[in-house]
A and B are shown apart, each in its own frame.
Chain A
């Protein structure tokens, strides 16, 4: 099933017939078997699927962290596959934001310094209004001087979100951002991600296996066995859960 449905100018990222194979010969494992996905600007997309379905692999390929075996991936209108390390570094620095499951903040920097890090790496100055807006959105204005070890998990992840937002990237990739958080802190982060899409116009792609998390997205793309198998727009947690069950049964039948 194809999830392609928009024109190029509205796309933040795109995968065209992407295959990803690990290993060689008999030990070959195909993680992606011809995936086509369009990710629209200003949308919060969740990618769902059971473990091993290829959802994380796709995200890694889209972000230029992993290479594709076949097919093409684009961020905005730039072809990611075939880029040199230098180009990839620039791409990640200027066009992509990341939110990791394990936060991955630098322990020796304060929250504010962590937030500003991508700009510092790029040698850019933050625009004060934007920075103020981002900080206000994450709700950490009284915590800016703290080190990550002095923050709770939810606060750390919100710092990580702000770090991804601050450089106004083309697209933010979030890999199980609530995987390490309790449900309350998780809900806070998800609400914040949704707000940043709605109020700041950010594009976010989130990989998750939690139906509740996926329900915060504008659109959910379902993965199974290296394919896109379905998608829902304006999802509710129940709808996502139903779809998951359906895919599960389909797979078992197949």
Chain B
């Protein structure tokens, strides 16, 4: 008797541990994200410490457009000599020097390609001599217009030595220089935060980096002796007004470090996403485990009640148990998370030049969040079963503990209400625009999931019945099918765990498939140019093409027309959004097969803009309306909306006249070019000529239409791969849930299994029976997930019309893969419990009381 009790307790512990594992995984990702962020954050802080020590205060003009990409992507607003004098005259300012240091000088390596990133920005600056921070290591300062000095990090990455020739791309086409000197930073650093810097002579920097828009990008201020930084800062702000920013060296260091931290955000978000999935699925697992345990202990609980235990005590005892599990899981997860964070930090740091990884530490917030998430989630999940435990009537000691499956009307109602609420939030979030609308999407998705889960028991019997039909040809299959329909609630909650993972992944896959098909359709159906020159990274703003080279390409034999485009972000009305401009609008319109939706798009006259239908709708603009556009450079201009065209991913944006773009865009050079070939010319015969013409624009490659489509597809596929990893996490946890449920079912049905074996069911048949049950449950979850996910995905994709998603597609093959995957997962999950069921001692099973 003692042995049996011990055994049951131990097997329960194992089961609790299994459900705790989901919490462990969740906490691992959460704490891993925190540790990673903390460790790398401190590494960056150390890296930028002292980077601006030589500056007491810095004055810069505020960017005209500060978009989502941050200040870095904004064009600098130049400062003139008069401003420097104004700054110098402010009391407390000892010395004020104009500086030029602007992002966007891309050094070309010896292979003619841009030197690969070392993890930081690429600066072009005007040489102003050595400072306490910056010192030449080799060679001399740039003195002539064709001389530059480069930082040691860039020299190493591009294999440059003093005297070498170096090509540099800036706001202007490629220019060649001689490396006159190589400099490093204090503390023997080759680079600060993985930055690459090319230092020109001041006039050259002014021309290339500022485009003669003003004299300087910033003013460095030395305080007069005895002057207080804060006082002078306030005085400067007062003198210069709101168009300027005044920052201390310390603030600049912090801003730089913060910018570097931005790359952490993505990693952190991915880890937190994984954590969210793990925790969400884990909640179901815990609810299920505790529910089953409580159902099994019904008599014991009733006895406790009969002996005088209060409801509160019953709830307390269940919650205490969950507290212990949550605590243990949180501590284990925290330990694993520290390892994950350390590993991630060292991997990421490896990609950034000269970054020393700070000592590993466990930040207090990681500990707090881990404990809160681990314990909180476990206890919250255990609360519902605990409440049910408290409802056990003392009479259940005598009566059969097996309660008939009640109609869960309350649950159905709650589920319906939540589902409707979730759907409403989704509709609201997807139909609207802006952050407020987007913030409604997430709770909408969550509520939809919970609603569906609550309604699942309702459909689980018929659904499982239908799915089980697949297996009903053999007797074990039939029995398994019936078993899976026996406890709809348990089946539903087990399947729900799988449903969530599959639904999330299907949603994202559906969005990706729709986006992919939209682009592919456009490229194959509408794009009339057979060759396209564009940057290798998907970012349309990062590449540039020499306009002179483009003119040359136009002369290549077999080229019928060329449409070159430039892209930028600008403030349109109140919103920051992408704008584009075409050197030859007529050619572009034809090549992209753009069709007018309202007004006329035949011409783009000065003072007018065009936009795609969805953008106009989002901005609430009609043809003839006035709209103010603030480009990166210059003053805001007022335009008249001359016409709108039908949505097309390749062209969706606000189209600005070319003359304004060359003045106002951050990069006046085109970044993409579309080539239409003559009827008798072949791609193979024309491509080499165009490539030759564009050889000094190494940021773009000339590709065929198909290659472009493929590139878009590759981008989506990469995103999908990440998504599959998410699915894997969810699947692992869901498998634990299925194993758990099956193991319990096998235990509960010991007598039944014994009877079946006694009347002649073979071991193989027993295994097949349990396996069928498992596969049916997993398939049920996967089907639900695929259906819910496809619905969500289509809704999201539909809401992305303005981003050019105009084809709604379902990822049929992936959906099939998810279903097959779920079936395999179900079969695998059943192995343990099925073996146990098959190995059962028949005699003991049938004679069991």
Contacts and interface: CB of A to CB of B under 8 A. Distances in A.
Interface of A: 60, 63, 65-66, 85-86, 89-90, 92-94, 97-98, 100, 102, 104-109, 117-118, 120-123, 149, 163-164, 175
24 contacts: A65-B846, A86-B762, A89-B762, A89-B763, A90-B760, A92-B758, A92-B759, A92-B760, A93-B759, A93-B762, A98-B755, A100-B846, A102-B751, A104-B751, A104-B758, A105-B755, A108-B482, A109-B482, A117-B759, A120-B478, A121-B475, A121-B756, A121-B759, A175-B847
Contacts of B751: 102, 104
A121 B846 contact: no
A98 B758 contact: yes
B483 interface: yes
B842 A65 contact: yes
A118 B475 contact: no
Nearest to A108: B482
Contacts of A60: 843
A107 B475 CA distance: 16
A102 B740 CA distance: 27
B485 interface: yes
Which interface residue of B404, B486, B756, B842 has the most chain A CB atoms within 10 A?
Answer: B842
A118 B486 contact: no
Nearest to A109: B482
Given A93-B760, A121-B765, A106 B755 contact: yes
Contacts of A106: 479, 482, 752, 755-756
A244 B756 CA distance: 35
B757 interface: yes
Which interface residue of B755, B760, B846 has the most chain A CB atoms within 10 A?
Answer: B760
Interface string B484-514: 0110000000000000000000000000000
Given A65-B758, A117-B756, 12 more contacts: A60-B843, A89-B763, A98-B846, A104-B752, A104-B754, A104-B758, A104-B846, A106-B756, A118-B759, A121-B760, A122-B760, A164-B759
Nearest to B755: A104
Contacts of B478: 120
A121 B757 CA distance: 10
Nearest to B765: A121
A118 B762 CA distance: 11
Given A66-B843, A102-B751, A89 B486 contact: no
Contacts of A175: 847
A102 B847 CA distance: 9
Contacts of A65: 758, 842-843, 846
Contacts of B475: 120-121, 123
Contacts of B755: 98, 100, 104-106
A166 to B, nearest CB: 10
Contacts of A66: 843
Contacts of A120: 475, 478
Contacts of B758: 63, 65, 92, 98, 100, 104
B757 to A, nearest CB: 7
B232 to A, nearest CB: 84
Which interface residue of A120, A121, A163 has the most chain B CB atoms within 10 A?
Answer: A121
Nearest to A149: B404
B761 interface: yes
A93 B485 CA distance: 26
Contact of A97 (B483, B756, B759, B842): B759
Contacts of A102: 751
A63 B842 CA distance: 11
B751 to A, nearest CB: 6
Contacts of B485: 108
Q: Top 5 closest A-B pairs, CB basis? A: A93-B760, A104-B755, A108-B482, A65-B843, A89-B762
Contacts of B757: 89, 92
Contacts of A97: 759
Nearest to B482: A108
Contacts of A100: 755, 758, 846
B750 to A, nearest CB: 11
A97 B760 CA distance: 9
A85 B763 contact: yes
A65 B757 CA distance: 10
A106 to B, nearest CB: 6
Contacts of B486: 107-108
Given A100-B755, A106-B755, A123-B475, A118 B843 contact: no
Interface string B830-849: 00000000000011001100
Interface in B371-412: 404
A56 to B, nearest CB: 8
A100 B752 CA distance: 11
Contacts of A63: 758
B847 to A, nearest CB: 8
Interface in B809-849: 842-843, 846-847
Contacts of B760: 89-90, 92-94, 118, 121-122
Interface string B465-488: 000000000010011001101100
Contacts of B483: 108
Nearest to B486: A108
Interface string B738-775: 00000000000001101111111111010000000000
Contacts of B752: 104, 106-107
Nearest to A106: B752
Interface in B236-269: none
Nearest to A63: B758
Nearest to B487: A108
Nearest to A164: B759
A89 B761 CA distance: 7
A121 B765 CA distance: 9
Contacts of A164: 759
A98 B761 CA distance: 13
A164 B759 CA distance: 8
Contacts of B846: 65, 98, 100, 104
Interface string B554-572: 0000000000000000000
Contacts of A93: 759-762
Nearest to B484: A108
A66 B843 CA distance: 7
Which interface residue of A63, A89, A122 has the most chain B CB atoms within 10 A?
Answer: A89
Nearest to B838: A85
A98 B762 contact: no
A92 B765 CA distance: 14
Nearest to B761: A121
A98 B759 contact: yes
Interface in B570-603: none
Contacts of A117: 756, 759
A20 to B, nearest CB: 12
A149 B758 CA distance: 21
B619 to A, nearest CB: 61
B844 to A, nearest CB: 9
Contacts of B759: 92-93, 97-98, 117-118, 121, 163-164
B843 to A, nearest CB: 4
A172 B486 CA distance: 30
Which interface residue of A65, A86, A118 has the most chain B CB atoms within 10 A?
Answer: A65
A108 B405 CA distance: 13
B630 to A, nearest CB: 70
Nearest to A86: B762
A102 B765 CA distance: 23
A36 B760 CA distance: 26
A121 B475 CA distance: 6
Contacts of A104: 751-752, 754-755, 758, 846
Contacts of A118: 759-760
Contacts of A89: 757, 760-763
A107 B402 CA distance: 12
A165 B758 CA distance: 14
Interface string B675-710: 000000000000000000000000000000000000
A97 to B, nearest CB: 7
B195 to A, nearest CB: 69
